[in-house]
Structure 1
Amino acid sequence: MSALPIQNPIDKREEGEQIVPIEAEAEAAVVDPNDEVPDGGYGWACVAALSVLNAFVWGVAASYGVYLAYYLASDTFHNATPLDYAMIGGLNFAIAVGLAPLITVICRRLGTRLTMIVGVTVHAAGFVSASFAESVLALYLTQGVLIGIGIAFIFIPSVAVLPQWFQKRRTLAQGLSSAGSGVGGIAVSLGTNAMIKHINLAWSLRITGLICFAVNTSATCIMRDRNKFVRPTQVGFATYLLKRYEVKLLLLYSLINMFGYMTLLYSLSNYAVSIGLTQSQASLITALLNLGTFFGRPAVGITSDRLGRIEVAGVLAMFSGVTCFVIWIPATSYGALIFYALVAGAVIGTFWMTIGPLAAEVAGLKEVPSLLSLIWISIALPCLFAEVIALYLRRPGAGRPYLYPQVFAGLAYCVSSLFLAELWRVKRMKAKRAS
Structure 2
Amino acid sequence: MASTYDNSTVNSSTTTINQTNSNSNNGLSTPSSDPTIQSRPQSISDRKTIDASIEDGLHYPQENKDVRRGSEPDSEEPLSKKGSMCDDDDGVVMEGGYRGYLVVFGGFLIILALIGYVSIYGVFQAKYNDIYGIQGKSQSSISFVGSLASGFQFGFTIIAGPVMNRFGHKITLWAGCIIASLGLLLASWCTELWQLYLTQGVMFGIGASFLNIAATAIPPLWYDKNRGLAMGICFCGAGIGGLGLGFVIPALINAVDIYWTLRIFAIFHFVCTAFAAIVMRAPRQLAGPPVEAKPEVMNWSVMKDFGFMLWFLCSCLFGFAYVVPFTYVPSFAKDVIGLDPNVQGGQLLAIMSGANAVGRILIGIAGDRLGAIPVAGVSFIATGASCFIWMFSTTHGALIAFSIVYGFFSGAFFTMIASITANIVGLADLSSGLTIIYLINTPGNLFTLPIAGKIFEQAGDYKAMIGYDAAMWFGAWILMMASCSGAAAATTTGRFEFESW
* 8 Å CA contact retained: 2:110, 2:215: no
Indicate which of 420, 440, 443 corresponds to 1:358.
420
Say if 1:98 and 1:407 are closer, same or farther in 2 by CA, change over 3 A: same
Match of 1:414 among 469, 474, 480: 474
Question: Cα RMSD over matched residues?
Answer: 2.3
String of CA shifts for 1:256-297, please: whole Å, max 9, x gaps: 122111222222222112212112111111111101111111
Give me the whole-angstrom Cα distance separating, in 2, the residues matched to 1:233 and 1:148. Answer: 30
Shift of 1:397: 8.7
Gap change, CA 1:274 and 1:110, over 3 Å in 2:
same
| C-alpha separation in 2, matches of 1:29 and 1:286 | 45
| Sequence identity (%) | 26
> Residues 70 and 396 from structure 1, CA distance in 2 versus in 1: closer, same or farther, beyond 3 angstroms?
farther
Q: Report the Cα offset of residue 77 of structure 1.
A: 7.6
Aligned equivalents of 2:295, 2:361: Cα separation in 1: 28
Q: Cα gap change, 1:96/1:310 in structure 2, threshold over 3 Å: closer, same or farther?
A: same
CA distance in 1, matches of 2:296, 2:397: 48
Which moved further from structure 2: 389-398 or 99-108? 389-398
* Equivalent pair of 1:119/1:150 in contact (CA under 8 Å): yes
Which AA in structure 2 matches 1:319? A
3-state secondary structure, aligned to 2:224: coil
- Per the TM alignment, residue 50 of structure 1 is displaced from its structure 2 partner at its CA by 0.9
Cα 1:397/1:255, change in 2 over 3 Å = closer
Mapped to 2, the partners of 1:414 and 1:148 lie a distance apart of: 27
Q: How many residues align?
A: 412
Which blocks of at least 5 consecutive residues in structure 1 are unaligned? 1-5, 10-21
- Return the TM-score normalized by structure 2: 0.78
**Which of residues 349, 352, 355 is equivalent to 1:292?**
355
Structure 1 residue 112 corresponds to structure 2 residue 139? no
Looking at structure 2, the residues matched to 197 and 72 of structure 1 have their Cα atoms a distance apart, in angstroms, of 15
Deviation at 1:368, TM superposition (A): 0.8
The code of the aligned residue for 1:33 comes to T
Aligned partner (choices 284, 300, 312) of residue 239 of structure 1: 300
Superposition deviation, residue 402 in structure 1 = 0.7
Match of 1:54? 111
Q: Shift in Å at residue 425 of structure 1?
A: 1.6
Distance 1:137 1:209 in 2: 20
Distance 1:373 1:328 in 2: 33
TM-aligned CA deviation for residue 115 of structure 1: 1.4
Residue 268 (1) aligns with residue 341 (2)? no
Cα distance between partner residues in 2 of 1:233 and 1:383: 33
Name the structure with the higher helix share: 1
Structure 1 residues 240 and 270, CA, compared in 2 at 3 Å: closer, same or farther? same
Larger radius of gyration: 2
Q: Within 1, Cα distance between the matches of 2:145 and 2:369?
A: 39
Q: What pairs with 1:297-312 in structure 2 (closer than 5 Å)?
A: 297-312=360-375
Match 2:485 to one of 425, 431, 435: 425
Indicate whether 1:405 and 2:468 are aligned.
no
CA apart distance, 1:39: 1.8
Instruction: Verify the 8 A CA contact 2:165 2:297 in the aligned structure 1.
Output: no
How many angstroms apart in 2 are the aligned matches of 1:30 and 1:99?
30
- How many Å apart are 1:413 and its aligned residue? 0.7
TM-aligned CA deviation for residue 67 of structure 1: 0.4
Paired position in structure 1 for 2:49: 33
Within 5 Å, which residues of 2 pair with 1:130-279? 130-226=187-283, 228=285, 238-275=299-336, 276-279=338-341
Which residue pairs with 1:13 in the alignment? none
Cα deviations across residues 142-195 of structure 1 (Å, max 9, x unaligned)? 110111111011111221112111111111111111111111112222211111
Residue deviations 1:74-123, cap 9 Å, x none?
34783432122211101111101111121122112321122111111111
Does the 8 Å CA contact 2:132/2:142 hold for their aligned counterparts? no
Q: Which moved more, 1:243-252 or 1:266-275?
A: 266-275
Kept after mapping to 2: 8 A contact 1:100/1:236: no
User: What SS does the corresponding residue of 1:37 show, helix, strand or coil?
Assistant: coil
Cα distance between partner residues in 2 of 1:242 and 1:371? 9
TM superposition score normalised by structure 1: 0.89
Residue in 2 aligned with 1:14? none
Matched, 1:313 2:376: yes
Q: CA deviation at 1:410?
A: 0.8
Q: In the TM superposition, what is the alpha-carbon distance from 1:395 to its structure 2 partner?
A: 4.5
Who is 2:437 aligned against?
A: 375
Residue 55 (structure 2) aligns with: none
Moved more, 362-371 or 75-84: 75-84
Q: Report if aligned partners of 1:29, 1:367 keep a CA contact under 8 Å in 2.
A: no
Matched residues in 2 for 1:128 and 1:26: separation? 47
Alpha-carbon distance in structure 2 between the residues aligned to 1:28 and 1:92: 41
Moved more, 166-175 or 181-190: 181-190
In 1, the alpha carbon distance for the partners of 2:184 and 2:164 equals 24
Cα distance in 1 for residues equivalent to 2:242 and 2:298: 32
8 Å Cα contact 1:30-1:362 kept in structure 2: no
Matched residue type, 1:120: C
- Local SS of the residue matching 1:242: helix
Distance in 2, matches of 1:257 and 1:104, equals 20
Superposed CA deviations along residues 272-329 of structure 1, whole A, max 9, x for unmatched, are 122121121111111111011111111001111111100000111011111112x111
CA contact (8 A) 2:117 2:245 kept: yes
- 1:332: Cα distance to partner? 1.4
Q: 1:391 matched to which residue of 2?
A: 453
Aligned AA (2:478):
L
Return the match for 1:65 from 122, 127, 137: 122
Q: Which moved more, 1:315-324 or 1:219-228?
A: 219-228
- In 2: Cα distance, 1:233 partner to 1:253 partner: 31
1:341 equivalent to 2:403? Answer: yes
Query: CA–CA distance in 2 between the matches of 1:150 and 1:213?
Result: 11
